[in-house]
Amino acid sequence: MSMETSAQTSDQDGFTAETFAQFWAAPVLSDATTSPIAEDVTGYWPGDDEPLQGREAYVGALAELLQIVPDLTLTVAASAHEGEHIFIRWVAHATGGDGLAMEHSGVDVIKVQEGKVVENRIFFDRAQFESKLGRSLALDGAASVL
C-alpha cells in the first residue's frame, strides 16, 4: 500500500485523492466535475438503509447535500490507495446550527475502475454531523443537477 498526502496523486488514471480534494475545496456540480463518476456507480451513505444506485441518484444526493449545506467544503487529511481502492480521511467545514464554524471528520472508501468512481462507501457519524449543523440530511438522490 502506498501512502499519500492530499498534494499527491495516486498511480491511477482518472479519479484520484487529488481530484477529490480539488472538487471539495469549492464544490460545484457540473458535467466536468462529475465526469469521473460511472453511470452505474453505487453510493453507500451512513444512516441510509439502501445504497444509491446510478450516477443520477449519486449526483442528486450530492446536489441535495450542497443545497442543505451550501458552504460545505472538505479537506483531505490523509489518503492511501491499494489496487482499485482509494481511502480518504477528510475533514468537513461548514457553518453550524449556532452560526459558528464547525468541523466534522469522516472517511470515504472509493473504488475506481478505468478512472471512474464505481463505488463509494462513506463513513461518518451522521447523527453527530446533523446535530452540529442543526438540521437533517435527507438525501434521496432525487435532485436533478445536470
Host domain of residue 93: 2-133
Greatest CA separation for the chain: 43
Note the pLDDT of residue 140.
Answer: 62
Phi-psi region of 129 (alpha: psi -120 to 50; beta: other; left: phi over 0): alpha
* Separation between Cα atoms, residue 87 and residue 97, nearest integer Å: 29
Indicate the pTM of the whole model.
0.84
pLDDT > 70: what percent of the chain? 86
Would you state the cell numbers that stand for residue 4, as one nine-digit string? 499519500
* Separation between Cα atoms, residue 122 and residue 110, nearest integer Å: 8
Does 7 fall in a domain? yes
Note the pLDDT of residue 78.
Answer: 98
Q: What is the mean pLDDT of residues 32-52?
A: 93
- 60-113 pLDDT, tens digit each: 999 999 999 999 999 999 999 999 999 999 999 999 989 999 999 999 999 999
Q: Residues 3, 46, 63, 95: is their CA dihedral positive or negative?
A: negative
Element (DSSP H or E) covering residue 14:
none
Q: What CATH number is attached to the domain comprising 31? A: 3.10.450.50
Does 140 fall in a domain? no
